[in-house]
Amino acid sequence: MMAGRLCCSVIVLLALYAQTDAASQTVNQDLSDIFNELWKLDVNRMKPGTDYRISLQGKAGYIPSGSTTATDHASAPLFSYVDMDKLNTITTYTRFMKLLDNYERSTGVAERVTSEEVAENNAFLDAVLESAVMKRAHQYLVNKGKSQSNLRQFKSQLYYMWFRLYHRDRNGGEDSSGFEHVFVGETKFGKEIMGLHNWVQFYLQEKQNLLDYKGYKARSNDVPDEDDHVLNVQFSWHGLVKPVGSTFLGVSPEFEMAVFSILFLTSTEKTTTAVVNLDEYQLELVVHRHGRSIGTSYPKLLSSNNRHL
């Protein structure tokens, strides 16, 4: 009888080890390595508690997609403080923020891009290309045969991926771009929030009382901390509710653009997902392509504070 129990215990243990091994195989080590390099190079990342402070408050409840109301589990904004003076001294942030008012929020409404806005796009990319983060990302992509070493050609590749206008809604003209969707946010048919995965835009919309943070989303055994750099959130924006959105916190725009450009260019799948271990987080990174441009990209927090190790 004892031998039978022992045998069963061994089988259970072996099954658990097999599951653990299988889980570890899902992590993309090559991407984890390059993204951790970029993480260390991101000198423009803001420091939690110093450059910005967040107030997590309550855990948001479940609501179905398309809802216009949600119980508010956070009476105060997510961001209790952001050092705008510091942001305004960093070129990539200042040029990034100039782009945030260049877009029509609703899909189906054609974008009209002025020559001034094109100049702003180019100025932002020029600043990004001067950063250590994007220089390393460029080197990585050249080594993988996914980008040309010529800087002008690489800039054109980035411009096409992020700023080329395309049809997201079949009605109307060219109404969307990768940059607008990911960094600025859009609404679909006046019923759904799409994109808006950037923390600076989140903060600025909160500041204007256009966005209302409803609480964080997390498993009960993985409650976030206020110094976390990745967060799953629920929020309302212009009268619509996003059941769950995910965002990096404090990272520079060049870091986000570098990470998702690498993920986009190293795959040909319509939707590319990769599980990576980045700093103390385990993330599922997602990129959906729209032809040769980015349709959407975002980080999905799987585990924080090294709980996955």
In a domain, 154, yes or no: yes
Residue type (1 letter), 232: N
pLDDT for 116: 86
pLDDT for 48: 95
pLDDT for 56: 95
pLDDT for 12: 39
In a domain, 190, yes or no: yes
In a domain, 13, yes or no: no
pLDDT for 9: 43
Collect all residues with Cβ–Cβ distance below 8 Å to 243 and sequence separation of at least 6. Answer: 62, 63, 64, 65, 67, 70, 234
pLDDT for 128: 97
Contact call for residues 222 and 304 (beta carbons, < 8 A): yes
Count: domains in the chain? 1
pLDDT for 195: 81
In a domain, 17, yes or no: no
Distance (Å, whole) CA 263 – CA 143:
14
In a domain, 231, yes or no: yes
Domain that holds residue 156: 29-62+69-304
Q: What is the pLDDT of residues 252-284, one digit of tens each?
A: 999 999 999 999 999 999 999 999 999 999 999
In a domain, 10, yes or no: no
pLDDT for 184: 85
pLDDT for 162: 93
Contact call for residues 113 and 176 (beta carbons, < 8 A): no
In a domain, 49, yes or no: yes
Query: In 214-297, which ranges are continuous DSSP H helix?
Result: 253-265
Q: If we measure between CA atoms, which residue out of 20, 27, 30, 23 comes closest to residue 283?
A: 27
pLDDT for 20: 38
Q: Which residues are catalytic?
A: 181, 197, 242
Using 70 as the pLDDT threshold, list the residues of the chain that sit under it: 1-25, 102-113, 167-176, 189, 308-309
Q: How buried is residue 91: exposed, middle or buried, by Cβ count under 10 Å (0-12/13-18/19+)?
A: middle
User: C-alpha distances in angstroms, 97 versus 92, 161, 184, 228?
Assistant: 9, 19, 10, 23
In a domain, 218, yes or no: yes
Contact call for residues 202 and 211 (beta carbons, < 8 A): yes
pLDDT for 305: 73
166: β partners? 176
Structure tokens at 80: 């209790």
pLDDT for 231: 93
